[in-house]
Structure formats: C-alpha cells, structure tokens
Structure 1
Amino acid sequence: MEKANISSTVTSRSREEEPQVEEGITTERPDWTLLPLDLITKISEELPIPHRLCLRATCTTWYHAAVLDMDVPSPWLLIPDHESEQSDSCTFASLPTGLFFTYSPIPELRGTRCVGSHAGWLAIANVHLDVSLLNPLTRSQIYLPSFTTLPTDDLMLECDVWSMDNPATDVPAYNPFKAFRDRFIGKVVFSSNPTIHNHVAVTLYGAYGDLAYTKAGKDAWLLLKEPSTKDHQYEDVMYHDDKFYCLSNECEVEAFDLSGDCPTAALVVERLTFSVTYFHDIRGSNLSCTYKKYLARSSTGELFMFLRYINQPVLPNEMELRRPKKFMVLRANPETNPCWAAATNDLGSMSLFIGTNNSMLVSNENLPIVHGDGIFFIESYTVAFGNGIELLTSDVGWFNLKEECSDNYYASSCPQFDLASVIWFTPSLQ
C-alpha cells in the first residue's frame, strides 16, 4: 500500500540574508495572540488538518479559534514517537487516504502507553499504573482508578518471577509496576462518549484472562464474574450498544450489562464443541493454544470471531496435524442461532480492524484502497540480534479473506521492555 507523507517546511534566512537594522533602533515582536479570532478561524479553514493541529498547539487562544473538521477520513493508525513513552508526540496515518502526519504536542501522552481505543478516545496508563481516558484532539481527560486496585493477589509476584527467568531484563532498572502493565494488561474497553459523571470501563488483565470493571463514582476496579462465568478465561472484550461482549478461551460469548448497581450477564453464543471440525482436524480442545481470538460485532447484530494462527499444538504420540489456516473468521447471529457457523470469507463488504482497540467493522465504501473483504491486524513479536539486543516489532498487516493472501501496511520496532502501542483510532471532537 502506498504511503504519502505530509510535512510542514519552515524556511529561515541566514544571518547574511537578514535585513540590517540601524543602530539605536529597537524593534518589538508582535503579539500574535491579539489577532482577531475570526481571522484565525478563516486562516485555519484554509489549512490541511496537520497544519491546523500545529496552529491549535500554538497557544490557548488559537486552540479555541482554529477549526478542526474531520476532513481526513478514519480509521487512523496511531503510531507513537520513536522515543516511545518519553515523547509527547505521535504520528497519525489515515488508512483511507494513506496520508501520514505528526501531531505534537500531546503532553498527556508523555510517560504513558496506550492500552485501549474507542470512538475518539484513548485509554492510557503510566509506569505507576495510573490510568485515564484521553481524547487527544480535544485534550479532554477522565481519570480512572489506578490499576493497583485491580482484584489480584499474585500478579506482582508473577512479574518478579518473570523478570528473574528472563535474562534480558535489566535488573537495576526493573520496575514491577511497568512490567505488570506491559505484560498483564491486555486491553481497556470503555463506553462511547465518556464523561466524568457517566462512563464505564472494562479491562482484560492477568496471566489467565480475568475481567474487571469500573464506572463513574467508583474508586477501584471490581472483578467482573457471574456464577455462570466464574471459571472462564477470557481472550477478548468489546463494547457495543451499552453492553460489553466477552469472548472466552472456549469461544463462548457473554454480554455483560453494567448499567445497574450489579452486573448482569447473558450467554449469547455457545462454546465450540469437540465435534466441530472447521479447523482442519484441530478440534475445540486444542483451539486455545492454536489461535489468538478477537471479537467484533456488526451494526446488524452479527458477531464475528477472528482467529489468527499462533502455534502448532503438541499432541500425544507425536501425532501431526495439517497446518491450520493462518486466518479464519466465524460468524454467529445470536438472535437466530446461538452457535458459531462454519468459517466464512464473507464480511458483507466490510473490513475488520483488530488490536488493542475496540474491534470495529468499517464499510469498504469508505476504504477506497481496499479491494475485497479483509482484516487489518496488529501483531507484535520479538526479534533477537547477535549482540543480545531484543526488539519488539509491531507489524500492521492486511489479510484478504477471499484470496487468502496478506500484505504489510506498516512496521516498526522498539526496545522490548519499552513497549510502544500501535493502535487503531477513530478521531472525534466529542
């Protein structure tokens, strides 16, 4: 996919080119904040969005005067600066147009990692486990309870054990809070258009796929389990129409309603049974260790489960299985049948965007660079070099379901223990 770059060029004169000022004459710098606000608005209307963002970052007065219409279509790919968490800038890439631009500064991003994205907002967490929701365009921020309040007893111990077993860990610089965030916070999903007095968030965390929730007025994260789901391990969670849909390791889907005083859960898709043979001889009992699973829901109510091959299971007697497909999609319609149908390559002229963000389906009519139903996915893996340095590489790929072929859209790398989250983002001024 072709990428076009947008950049601002600032030219300056050399000293030889500067006009000479007669001695004894002093000049005063103009106060640009005194310009009429309607003039700033008119100027901003003539600029492309990257330049408008820079104009708004000049001062508070210009920030409120400059117009910021969403004339660059989404979804955007949010790419943290190469300095990772020590920077307050990031790059946005508009997927439909292929345009790249840098937005700086966003002071709230400094020292944080993105752990979720939905409807124009980011979930960010720092190395002290403080977590908040942030709209990077409006700079609105909502503080959530610290991850230190998560209902857990032994994860910090697991972090310590993990660091001792990992020879690449820099022990003097080791921060168990940072290790906890980077290794055990899967994602944070939250309600649309959150406000200080009206928001709900769910996090997928821990080594065994636990869920916790918080909402406006709460000062801690609370364990999210119903009696029917107490033994479940979860692999993905998403928000849609005031409910949180949670996908278990057995491909069961529950919808949690957190609007009342106590959570309620309803089973919407049943687990895959051992008799299911969609998977090239890999049955439900081996599904957990073979595929990474993501969940998405369409506007018509259909649920899609995206499976990405991650590992060939080891079976007794060294029995070999045919290599599974690298990508598969299963479909279910809870209103007509609470079971997963056979694998499909038809997303209804839609493209699926998965990652740490709330999964989303986007019509291909809004994606002129996409031909055919496909899946945009973000995957990270470690690359080791001979000098002992390890980098965590993030690839943004696209998989064509019908043709079963894939392509890379973007790739980056950073030190393994200073993770930078590449994430899908849909801009909003709400």
Structure 2
Amino acid sequence: MIVSLPQPPCTGSPRISSTTLCSLDPTLRSCFIAGSSHGWLVIADERSNLLLVNPITRAQIVLPPAVTIKNVQGCYTAEGVLDSYTLLDLDLDLETQGCNLQACTCDLSLEEGRFFFYWRVAMSADPSSGNCIVMILHMPEKHISFTRVGDTQWTWINVHPDCFDYCDVFYNDSDGLFYAMRRSGEVHTIDVNGPYPVVKVILNPMTRSRDSSRYIVQAPWGAILQVWRNDQPIRRGEYRSDCQA
C-alpha cells in the first residue's frame, strides 16, 4: 500500500512523498508478539516457540524451543509427541541450581504457553548479522535466559542470588552489556560475551514499593534512566497514569 504524506513542517527537511506499509504474513497473524528490536518482531507461534520475523523481507529465524527454557517441562503422548507444557518455579539455591518440583506448577496447552512464558525480550544486534544474542525475562518469577542465534537451547542465568524478579532489560551498544532492572529498582549489568555469564550490581535497591510499573531505558545522550508508571484509580473503572523518570 502506498500512502502520500504531507510536506514536513520542518524547514530544510527532505520531502517524503510516499511510504510503504507492509502487512504481516497471514500465517503469523494469530501469533503472540513478545517484543521487537532492530526492525524485527519477536513472535511466539501456536506451539509457544519464539521466532524472529522481519516484517519487510519476511525473513524468519527460529529460536530454541520453549522446552529448553529451564523451568518449562514438556508433556508427551505415548507416541512421544509434545502435547502440553508444565511451567515450574525455579530454585535459586546456587548449590542445587535446579527446578523446585515441589512448588506450585502451571499446566498449559501448547498454545497457552506463550502467554505465560515470556515477559520481556531484548536483542544485542540485527539478527541477520549472525552475531545476535537474544535475552528473555521469563515467568513466573521473571528470571533471565539467553541464546545466540543458531544455538539449540536457552541458557539460564543464575550466577547471582538475586537473579530474579526482573521487570525490564535492554542492550547497551557502547559497552556490549545487557542492563536489567529488578522490581526493587536494583540494576544489574549482564555480560554474556565470555564463557560464563557475569552479573554485577551497579545500582542498589531504591524502594520496597511494588505498586509501580517500571522500565529501564537509555537516553539519546547515553544516560540510563528508570521510568516508573503509577496507576491511580479515580473512580471505579477509571484510572490515571503518572509517569516519572
């Protein structure tokens, strides 16, 4: 579809006479969009597996299956066909480093998993570059796992006792690190460039309040900002949002 645009109001700006709007592949329209970066969409398909999709070129890159996430367990039929998922809590004891099978679990169909697995997604580069790392915050306790494009499984990051309860994550091109923020306002850098992930605390917890929706972003001038959004009920069924940076 070609759409004519009006003359830009800024003096000296080149005139943009048209643009192209690309529709998503019909086979992907029922998928769940978990995130986007570098012009690519991160999509969870009907079996709850993630794939990267370029909506312009329609190129697709398949990421490791959901069953390779540490706390996602596949349930199979007698014939060995994947039939459903069980979502487990993770035990962050650095000695056991495993799943807590005694904790409350959630049984999900193949299609339901995508709505319960993924909280945030960040990418280090254009996936077509061949050097892209994809990092996810996954539920229920918002742990972090990552994979490199071309890998066959997700790697759970559990090298620090506080590697959970994250609310947002982004990649910083200037230093090659991921920055992740916890609900407490605590900020971690995550280095996955070496043989083992390295997590460092660069900002201590700021508050115990859990009423805000919180995000971490990098400003155009390089500063790293926290954005807190507070929803305040006015009357039943009506809300006001206040954003603070």
Q: How does the TM-score come out when normalised to structure 1? A: 0.42
User: Partners of 1:268 and 1:299 in 2: how far apart?
Assistant: 20
- Structure-to-structure mapping, 1:161-310, within 5 angstroms: 176-195=109-128, 197-230=130-163, 232-241=164-173, 242-272=176-206, 284-285=207-208, 287-288=209-210, 290-310=211-231
Contact 2:123/2:135 (8 A) holds in 1: yes
Cα distance in 1 between the residues matched to 2:149 and 2:37: 17
Distance 1:130 1:271 in 2: 33
Preserved contact between residue 159 and residue 176 of structure 1 (Cα < 8 Å): no
CA distance in 2, matches of 1:187, 1:260: 23
Distance 1:185 1:191 in 2: 18
Q: Which runs of 5+ in 2 are unaligned?
A: 5-15, 73-85, 89-103, 234-239
Q: Is the 8 A contact 1:196 1:216 kept in 2?
A: no
Runs of 4+ in structure 1 deviating by more than 3 angstroms, as ranges, are: 156-160
Q: 1:195: how far off?
A: 2.8
In structure 2, relative to structure 1, the CA distance for the partners of 1:311 and 1:145 (3 Å cut) is farther
CA shift digits 1:388-413 (9 cap, x unpaired): xxxxxxxxxxxxxxxxxxxxxxxxxx
Deviation at residue 227 of structure 1 after TM alignment: 2.4
Q: Kindly indicate whether the alpha-carbon contact (under 8 Å) linking 1:291 and 1:311 is maintained by their aligned counterparts in 2.
A: no
Q: Partners in 1 of 2:109 and 2:232 — Cα distance?
A: 28
Contact 2:40 2:54 in 1 (8 A): yes
Secondary structure of the 1:148 match is helix
- Residue of structure 2 equivalent to 1:48: 18
> What letter corresponds to residue 271 of structure 1 in structure 2?
P
Whether the aligned pair in 2 keeps the contact of 1:187 and 1:204 (CA below 8 Å) is yes
Identity %: 25
Return the letter of the residue paired with 2:213. Answer: K
Aligned to 2:140, the other structure's residue is in SS state coil
After TM superposition, the structure 1 = structure 2 runs for residues 9-88 of structure 1, keeping only pairs within 5 Å, are 48-50=18-20
Q: Which residue of 2 aligns with 1:369?
A: none
Match of 2:60 among 141, 161, 166: 141
Larger radius of gyration: 1
The CA distance in 2 between the partners of 1:265 and 1:183, in whole Å, is: 25
**Matched AA of 1:269:** L
Cα-to-partner distance string for 1:232-264 (whole Å, 9 max, x where unaligned): 311111122122110011111111111222111
Q: Select the structure with the greater relative contact order (CA < 8 A; seq sep ≥ 6).
A: 1
- CA shift in 2, pair 1:121/1:263, >3 Å: same
Q: 1:247 and 1:207 mapped to 2: Cα distance?
A: 16
Amino acid of the structure 1 residue aligned with 2:242: K
Where do 1:389-400 residues align within 5 Å? none
Distance 2:123 2:3 in 1: 32
Instruction: Return the letter of the residue paired with 2:59.
Output: S
3-state SS in 1 of match to 2:128: coil
2:214–2:227 Cα contact (<8 Å) kept: yes
Structure 2 distance, partners of 1:147, 1:193, is: 22
How far did residue 188 of structure 1 move? 1.6
- With over 3 angstroms needed to count, the CA separation of the structure-2 counterparts of 1:196 and 1:108, relative to structure 1, is farther
RMSD in angstroms over aligned alpha carbons? 2.8
The gaps in structure 1 that reach 5 residues or longer are 8-45, 51-100, 161-174, 273-283, 313-323, 330-430
